[in-house]
């Protein structure tokens, strides 16, 4: 078998946090005057270069990474070509931070031909006004163009979303092991998380498993789930976990290969991210037609419990899914959506359902 080693790519794109400013001659006020004004990028349409501390009406603009961001007006876009880092056929995830300004229905169209995805950025999850989003693609070519486009058309062209900090990361396709029928059950493989941001990364809704920034998992719901790391949050196991931030509107799922008539145990951890998300939480787990409700009392300071759902497979493919029964808000600011954390998900077949041994 031919084994191709694909190098890990992980970090900001060139001038991915826009710290290299356009030359004064290439701007009029904040507006870029031509497609090559922003170093390392090509732009189209009404694009502004925004510095932290700048005001828009009464609103003070803050910038998460360094001191600058860009604003995409109506139908505006920014594009960067990647020539050195991607391997044809491999999967990559993009992470970027965005903030909405004055428009009502803000969305961003992220594309790497022939793939594209329209990400809703309307719902605010963090109190700072900025959220980070992930989107994944498979590289069909070894040279790719990453395009972020604002498809919106507002009366005020300066009402478009702000973008800052765009990073890329290689996603290695996870495999099931003899310790778990599920793939990436610990959520360790996933999108890039900015070391300097403390609000995690949103995995947008309607993500299929073949192009998921969270390999092997699908986000089947109307709202995003949040990918969190142990540097900024409490995570039950390993370095990464998933926070179910939007009640029943935010669910993650994976389809596992199962043998009809066999007994399985689905083990998982339910906890809180230590982000002041307090209260009585319930995670609902599904395995085919079987369900389990796991209550968890959160003090918002971290902690978790293990749960187990035992079931007998009735099909060769069993859908495993999790969501939060309730909506929660952070006690710190009463505006950030939050919720229970799910982690360390294991599916094992039970050799002797009346004993305690687990085998595949």
Nearer to ligand NAG, 135 or 233 (CB): 135
Among 89, 173, 195, 238, binds ligand NAG (CB under 6 A): 195
Nearer to ligand NAG, 49 or 137 (CB): 137
Cβ 192 to ligand NAG shortest distance, Å: 9
196 belongs to the binding site for ligand NAG (CB under 6 A): yes
Tokens of residue 37, six digits: 């004004």
Cβ 116 to ligand NAG shortest distance, Å: 4
Q: Using CA atoms, how far apart are residues 317 and 314, in angstroms rounded to an integer? A: 9
53, with CB counted inside 10 A (0-12, 13-18, 19+), is exposed
Among 52, 61, 102, 118, binds ligand NAG (CB under 6 A): 118
Among 151, 176, 279, 302, binds ligand NAG (CB under 6 A): 151
Cβ 67 to ligand NAG shortest distance, Å: 10
**Tokens 């229905």 identify what position?**
105
- Please state whether the peptide bond connecting residue 114 to the residue before it is cis, i.e. omega within 30 degrees of 0: yes
225, 229, 233, 235: CA torsion to nearest 10: 90
Cβ 105 to ligand NAG shortest distance, Å: 13
116 belongs to the binding site for ligand NAG (CB under 6 A): yes
CB-CB contact of 6 with 170 (8 Å): yes
Q: Which stretch binds ligand NAG (CB under 6 A): 6-14, 239-247, 256-264, 268-276?
A: 6-14
87 belongs to the binding site for ligand NAG (CB under 6 A): no
Neighbour tally for 346: CB within 10 Å: 19
Cβ 244 to ligand NAG shortest distance, Å: 27
Among 65, 106, 220, 272, binds ligand NAG (CB under 6 A): 65
62 belongs to the binding site for ligand NAG (CB under 6 A): no
Q: Which stretch binds ligand NAG (CB under 6 A): 41-49, 110-118, 128-136, 203-211?
A: 110-118
Nearer to ligand NAG, 12 or 158 (CB): 12
Q: What is the largest CA-CA distance in the chain?
A: 77
Reference 16, options 122, 137, 148; nearest CA is: 148
Q: Using CA atoms, how far apart are residues 298 and 5, in angstroms rounded to an integer? A: 43
Nearer to ligand NAG, 230 or 325 (CB): 230
Tokens of residue 32, six digits: 């870029």
User: Which residues, 6 or more positions from 95, have their beta carbon under 8 angstroms from its beta carbon?
Assistant: 132, 133, 134, 165, 166, 167, 168, 169, 191, 192, 193, 194, 201, 213
What is the size of the binding site for ligand NAG (CB under 6 A)?
A: 17
SS3 249: helix
Among 3, 55, 84, 356, binds ligand NAG (CB under 6 A): 84
**Tokens 């090509």 identify what position?**
42
85 belongs to the binding site for ligand NAG (CB under 6 A): yes
| Site residues (vs ligand NAG, CB under 6 A) | 9-12, 17, 65, 84-85, 109, 111, 116, 118, 149, 151, 168, 195-196
């Amino acid at each position: 078998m031919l084994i191709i080693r694909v190098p890990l790519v992980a970090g900001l794109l060139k001038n991915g946090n826009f710290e290299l400013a356009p030359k004064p001659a290439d701007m009029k006020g904040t507006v870029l005057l031509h497609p090559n004004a922003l170093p390392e990028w090509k732009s189209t349409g009404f694009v502004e270069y925004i510095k932290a501390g700048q005001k828009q009406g009464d609103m003070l603009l803050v910038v998460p990474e360094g001191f600058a961001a860009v604003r995409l007006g109506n139908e505006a876009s920014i594009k960067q070509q990647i020539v050195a880092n991607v391997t044809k056929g491999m999967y990559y995830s993009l992470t970027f931070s965005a903030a909405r300004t004055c428009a009502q229905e803000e969305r961003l169209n992220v594309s790497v031909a022939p793939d594209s995805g329209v990400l809703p950025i309307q719902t605010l999850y963090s109190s700072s006004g900025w959220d980070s989003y992930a989107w994944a693609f498979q590289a069909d070519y070894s040279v790719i163009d990453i395009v972020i486009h604002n498809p919106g058309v507002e009366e005020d062209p300066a009402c478009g979303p702000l973008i800052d900090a765009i990073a890329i990361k290689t996603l290695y396709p996870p495999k099931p092991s003899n310790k778990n029928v599920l793939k990436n059950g610990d959520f360790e493989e996933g999108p890039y998380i900015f070391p300097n941001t403390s609000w995690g990364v949103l995995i947008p809704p309607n993500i299929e498993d073949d192009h998921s920034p969270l390999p092997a998992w699908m986000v089947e719901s109307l709202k995003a789930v949040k990918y969190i790391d142990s540097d900024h949050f409490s995570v039950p196991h390993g370095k990464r976990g998933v926070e179910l931030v939007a009640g029943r509107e935010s669910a993650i799922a994976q389809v596992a290969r199962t043998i009809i008539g066999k007994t399985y145990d689905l083990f998982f951890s339910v906890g809180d991210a230590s982000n002041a998300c307090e209260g009585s939480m319930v995670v609902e787990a599904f395995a085919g037609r079987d369900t389990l409700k796991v209550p968890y009392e959160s003090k918002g300071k971290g902690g978790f419990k293990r749960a187990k759902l035992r079931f007998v497979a009735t099909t060769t493919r069993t859908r495993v899914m999790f969501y939060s029964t309730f909506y929660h808000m952070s006690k710190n600011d009463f505006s950030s959506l939050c919720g229970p954390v799910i982690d360390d998900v294991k599916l094992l077949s039970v050799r002797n359902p009346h004993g305690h041994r687990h085998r595949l």
